[in-house]
Chain A
Amino acid sequence: MLASTTTTNPIWMPGGDELAYLGPLWALVATVVAVLLGALAVGRNWRVSAGIATFGGLLTAWLAYRGFSQAGFTNWAGMTPSAPAAPMLVADQFSYCFIFLISVFMVLVTGMWWLGQNAGLPEHLTRKQDSTEFFVLFVGSAFGMSLMVSTTNLLMIILAVEMASLPSYGITAFRKKHNLAAEASLKYVLFGAITSAIMIYGASLLYGQYHTLDLAAIGRQIAAETGQSGPTVLMGVSLVAFMSGIAFKVSAVPFHFWCPDVFEGASIEITTWLSVASKAAGLGLMLRVIAVLTCNLSSPDTLEYVSLAIAVMAAITCTWGNISAFRQTNLKRLLAFSSIAHAGYMLMAVAIIWHPEFGQTDMPAHPSFSALVFYITVYLMMNLGAFGVIALVYWSTGKETIDAFNGLARRSLPLTIAMVVFLFSLVGLPPMGGFFAKWWLLYALWEGNVVWLILVAVFNTLISLYYYARIARAMIFTDDGQPTVHAPISGQAAVTVCAILVLLTGTLSAGWLKDFSDNRSRGLYAIVRPVNQEPTANDQLDNDGSEEKIAEFSPDGGSEFE
């Protein structure tokens, strides 16, 4: 189908079904345009902008959700004429899942923003007048993040990372008279620019060595090369340089320095958005890149280098984040370090891509992809909830420090109970969802045979308890007589629903969510091929008999080796 058109035609034209696979991405782009046109049509109205963004987000989520029902759904689109087998964009269950989560989260953050507009903050903080620009940037960054999780092409990766980063710089500094916000955005830009430069340098080195932009093809060549002569220095340098750009999005140590400042400087909705969505996209991309690059590797030495390097980075990220959080008094900053620590836990899932069952066509759900999906889903809810409570308290008191939470148990019991659930879910205590997120992660680590990383993870759980408990202590143990918090009912209801969901994922729905995650991590592009085999039309994963959903490769699919 697709492949035949692309080989005969020098100019690539997407087919109809190919465009349909990209439906969620189209929906996001359309939302950006609709926000702009809406402002032209009805004038600047923040309700209209937010409404369009909400509708666009829900539409995207629905389109992505529809993809879930197609079992074993795996597609790739946009094959370039020079290398027909190399897709520009990948649409599989995993990418759809992330687009789904990102768009749902976009809607939720929009709701939070809406509440913030009604909270009676001064105009220079809310900037209602500029909501059109805000939503263009905001939805634009969501589009960039969605692109990040649905590609394995070097060029597309760079474009996607930039598409996600540039609007983020803008919305970080959206409170433009706020000194901290401007400082944060400047730091973000400088840091982002440098890591992007390094990443592009790495990508160009890779392209120079392997003459293709397709990571799967690069992975096969690396496998062939290391099989003969072992890894080379150039290979290592180019990969590390390339990965540093993604590590920046994930805020892995040592690329994390922007994170606390940006989280503190940005308004609270944006902090919430960046803390989950940006990291989710970065982790999804990193997992996919590493998996695609290493899935054909047969030399255990090389695998062990890659795995060990990521494992060490994960361990350091996690520990560093947790220890740095100890002395923070600003809650956004504290949760910034907490999010670095959680990125560390999730990076651990990346360290075990060399699962022994790797590359088997009848492979069950990939444990690390599954663990990541589960973790991100729970993390989304608990972090949204925690930031939601902080936002409600901030709108009522104007403070974001731990002091603002003193005596919250008396000032607002529902918020306190919800916050306790979120905090101890972030620690990873049962019966909250955070425990199961950690549990499946530890399970994946065990399957990947890295027991030392399990010990690092549980040790970090222990030390993280202290600073999360500090917030609980302020809320419940100390009381300095601050007035009652008057949070809007809608806000209270929202965090309560979040808390109930977090509790459900830790008890009754834990199995269901695990099942969901397993289904999202089957049939991933390029990593389900038998080891060291040329791709042919027949060895594509065909788990559940979704016959015509699989694109064919052209006979000269291996032309990039020449």
Chain B
Amino acid sequence: METSGLLNWIIFIPMIGAIVVLFAPAKQARSITLATTFLVFLASCLLFGPFLNGSYHEGGYGENMQFESKVEWIHVGGFNINWHVGLDGISFPLIILTTLVTFLAAWASWNFEEWKVNRGPKGYFSLFLLLETGVLGTFAALDFFLFYIFWEVMLLPMYFLIGVWGGPRKEYAAIKFFLYTLAGSVLMLVALLAMYFTSADVLGGAGTFSLIEYATDGRLQSVFNDPNKTFLWEGWKFGHVMFIFLFIGFMIKVPVFPFHTWLPDAHVEAPTPISMILAGILLKLGAYGFFRVCYPIFPEAARDLAYFLAVLGVINILYGAFCCLAQTDFKRLVAYSSISHMGYVVLGCAVMTDVGFQGAMFQVLAHGISSPMCFFLVGVIYDRAHHRNINDFGGLWLAMPRYGSMATLGFFASLGLPSLCGFIGEVWVLLGTFNAGSVHAEFTWAKPMAVLAAFGVILTAAYILWMIQRVYLGKLREKYADFPDATARETAILFPMAVLAIFMGILPKYTFDLMNGTIDDVLATMTASLSSVSSFAFGG
């Protein structure tokens, strides 16, 4: 297929751009970066046509990959490592989201000179582009080994972006981010080894790293979900251990309580564009990992551990929201609200119903739009006021009418106001959770869990409305009276996100259409594996 090359180009254009930036004059760095990210965004938009025309609702999971390309990479010593990329309904929207948010973040870096005069722009922009390659590669990879490589490639640029161009406690935040994420990825590495060698034993000869084969091959599935196969310790089921290792790896990235503490630090210290990327894209990688790796491959473990995962999700929702109520730092508040919102993703996954999965996936995308917007809104006033103390603001809407309207829209989208994007995801997740008992009879805890999670909606409304009241409403303070309104550039960055927030809120169908086919496939695969395992375990 001739479009397969396009995906490879999309992954590598940012890397080429990074090298160009390194050798170009420092003054051109930001223009080159903006042009590169825009080019990548345009290229990813070109994927829309073929993707929609593709037969993405025929065949099972993995059979309708678009833009697939597979090249042998390392085939020695009994190894089968491939360059294998492709897109389906789970990864395609995330690729679009990535290219869009990265482009907007590159644009948000336009006033780079103002916020860090002494640090070279070359390093910043080339790392920025390298990061994009890492993210796009991770979303597109269908080979687990490749996925892992790209997953790690993201670490270094992010570490330096926070550590060099961040706020006062940047070094602490950067190394904390690095250590937390690496802790997750070494667990993933163990799972990678274990899954590969299990596949080599089962399939005979060289094993496979294909994420699709792991999920769809009946022989592999019966072993992965075999309750009698143990790992490491007597009585530790193989599937459970693998699922937990992978889940911890991904939940650190999401982040899920109790591994969330790196996130507020990283966000507060990171510069605005990096916060946008961190919240808008990097957190989504964790959620993507659930959809691509954890759930399709280890459905039995997912079902057995569903209760704990749902509890974690609810804790995330409520705990994150309570933390928001206590914050006085504007950016920290938005960071904790990310934790709270990502809790819905975990809950939606945990209940393993189609509505729950759709809601979780929708929430991923909605949060991918609303959180960069919120972070950018915070960044705009930080550029003017040079502090982020919520209690010190007041009446900003009066001084900055255009910005104020955008801000209200953005925070209401985050709040989950009906007709904006945040609403759909949350409602779908809550509906899916409420109804989960009727799909899986053993999920008797689902209804109380949904009720608890629904309180999150109230808390969210509380902290956002209270924040809006303190920052944007009320009497305009003297010192902020001469703040200029949002510039044309700032408005232009906010505009696409605002449009998308409304579009996804009013016409969620088009977003659902992109991903529902694949989500049904994933669920069908999981159901097939579960039923075969049940007969394997009890019916024989």
A residues near B, CB below 8 A? 364-365, 370, 409-410, 420, 424, 429-431, 435, 440, 442-443, 446-447, 451-452, 454-455, 458-459, 461-462, 465-466, 469, 473, 476-477, 510-511, 514-515, 518
Contacts and interface: CB of A to CB of B under 8 A. Distances in A.
9 contacts: A364-B78, A429-B155, A446-B197, A454-B190, A455-B232, A458-B187, A477-B163, A477-B171, A515-B77
B190 A365 contact: no
Contact of A442 (B152, B179, B193): B193
B175 A511 contact: no
A431 B150 CA distance: 8
Interface in B35-79: 73-79
Nearest to A521: B77
A447 B182 CA distance: 24
Contact of B232 (A410, A447, A451): A451
A429 B171 contact: no
Given A435-B152, A451-B232, A458 B164 contact: no
Contacts of A409: 123, 164
Contacts of A473: 163, 171, 175
Contact of B182 (A443, A462, A511, A515): A462
Contacts of A443: 193
B449 interface: no
9 closest pairs, A vs B, by CB? A511-B74, A458-B186, A430-B149, A515-B76, A430-B152, A514-B76, A511-B76, A477-B163, A518-B77
A364 B76 CA distance: 12
A560 B416 CA distance: 85
A375 B183 CA distance: 22
Given A477-B170, A511-B76, A465 B164 contact: no
A431 B83 CA distance: 14
B160 interface: yes
A451 to B, nearest CB: 6
A514 B189 contact: no
A92 B76 CA distance: 22
B179 A462 contact: yes
Given A458-B189, A469-B175, A514 B123 contact: no
A430 B77 CA distance: 20
- Output the residue of A452, A462, A518 with the most chain B CB within 10 A: A462
Given A476-B160, A511-B76, A429 B189 contact: no
Contacts, number: 82
Contacts of A465: 178-179, 182
Given A409-B123, A477-B171, A430 B153 contact: yes
A365 B77 contact: yes
Nearest to A458: B186
Contact of A466 (B153, B179, B231): B179
B156 interface: yes
Contacts of B186: 458-459, 461-462
B480 interface: no
B76 A430 contact: no
Contacts of A476: 160, 163-164
B234 to A, nearest CB: 13
A454 B193 contact: yes
Given A473-B175, A511-B75, A462 B163 contact: no
Contacts of A365: 77
Contacts of A370: 77
A424 to B, nearest CB: 6
B148 interface: yes
Interface in B364-417: none
Nearest to A436: B74
A49 to B, nearest CB: 40
Contacts of A469: 159, 175, 178
A436 B179 CA distance: 20
Contact of A424 (B148, B156, B170): B156
A510 B77 CA distance: 12
A238 B151 CA distance: 48
A302 B354 CA distance: 55
Contact of A511 (B73, B152, B190): B73
A514 B77 contact: yes
Nearest to A510: B74
Given A465-B179, A473-B175, A514-B74, A458 B149 contact: no
Nearest to A374: B77
Interface string B228-251: 000110000000000000000000
A455 B233 CA distance: 13
Contacts of B120: 410
- Output the residue of A429, A455, A514 with the most chain B CB within 10 A: A429
